[in-house]
Structure 1
Amino acid sequence: MKFKKLLAILMLAASMTVMDPSAFAAKGIADTRQNAMDIPFGQQMSLVIEGAGDQDWYKWTNNTGTMKYSYNFLTPMGLDCRYRFGMIVDYNNGKEFDLLIAKDLEDSGGSRSSIQQINKVIIPPGATVYYVVESKNGMNGQYKLYHSFLNM
Structure 2
Amino acid sequence: MKLKRVLTVLLTSVMLLTMSSSVFAADVKPMASGIGDTKEQALTLLPAEKYTLYISNINDQDWYAWKNNTGEVKYTGGFLNQNDVNHRVGLMIDYGNGRVTDLLYAQSQPFHSIHWQNFAIPNGATLYLVVEQVGEYKAGEGYQLVFLAH
Q: Which residue pairs with 1:129 in the alignment?
A: 127
Q: TM-score, normalised by structure 1?
A: 0.72
Q: Say which of 91, 94, 116 aligns to 2:95.
A: 91
Offset of residue 40 of structure 1? 2.2
Q: Which residue pairs with 1:148 in the alignment?
A: 148
- Runs of 4+ in structure 1 deviating by more than 6 angstroms, as ranges, are none
Structure 1 segment 1-152 matched on structure 2, within 5 A: 27-76=33-82, 78-79=83-84, 81-105=85-109, 110-111=110-111, 113=112, 115-137=113-135, 138-140=137-139, 141-150=141-150
Counterpart of 2:98 in 1: which secondary structure? Answer: coil
Kindly indicate whether the alpha-carbon contact (under 8 Å) linking 1:72 and 1:147 is maintained by their aligned counterparts in 2. Answer: yes
Counterpart of 1:96 in 2: which secondary structure? Answer: coil
How many pairs does the alignment contain? 117
Offset of residue 72 of structure 1? 1.5
Aligned alpha-carbon RMSD (Å): 1.5
Kindly indicate whether the alpha-carbon contact (under 8 Å) linking 1:82 and 1:139 is maintained by their aligned counterparts in 2. Answer: no
Offset of residue 145 of structure 1? 0.7
Offset of residue 42 of structure 1? 3.0
Counterpart AA for 2:88: R
Equivalent-residue separation in structure 1 for 2:41 and 2:72 (angstroms):
26
| Unmatched tracts of structure 2, length 5 or more | 1-31
Q: Which residue pairs with 2:20 in the alignment?
A: none
Equivalent-residue separation in structure 1 for 2:47 and 2:106 (angstroms):
21
Equivalent-residue separation in structure 2 for 1:146 and 1:40 (angstroms):
9
Counterpart of 2:101 in 1: which secondary structure? Answer: strand
Equivalent-residue separation in structure 2 for 1:126 and 1:43 (angstroms):
21
Kindly indicate whether the alpha-carbon contact (under 8 Å) linking 2:46 and 2:147 is maintained by their aligned counterparts in 1. Answer: no
Equivalent-residue separation in structure 2 for 1:42 and 1:125 (angstroms):
19
CA-to-aligned-CA distance 1:23-66 (integer Å, 9 cap, x gap): xxx92321011111112233221111123111100101011111
Kindly indicate whether the alpha-carbon contact (under 8 Å) linking 1:62 and 1:128 is maintained by their aligned counterparts in 2. Answer: yes
CA-to-aligned-CA distance 1:106-137 (integer Å, 9 cap, x gap): xxxx44x2x11121110000110111001102
Counterpart AA for 1:122: A
Identity %: 37
| Unmatched tracts of structure 1, length 5 or more | 1-25
Counterpart AA for 2:72: T
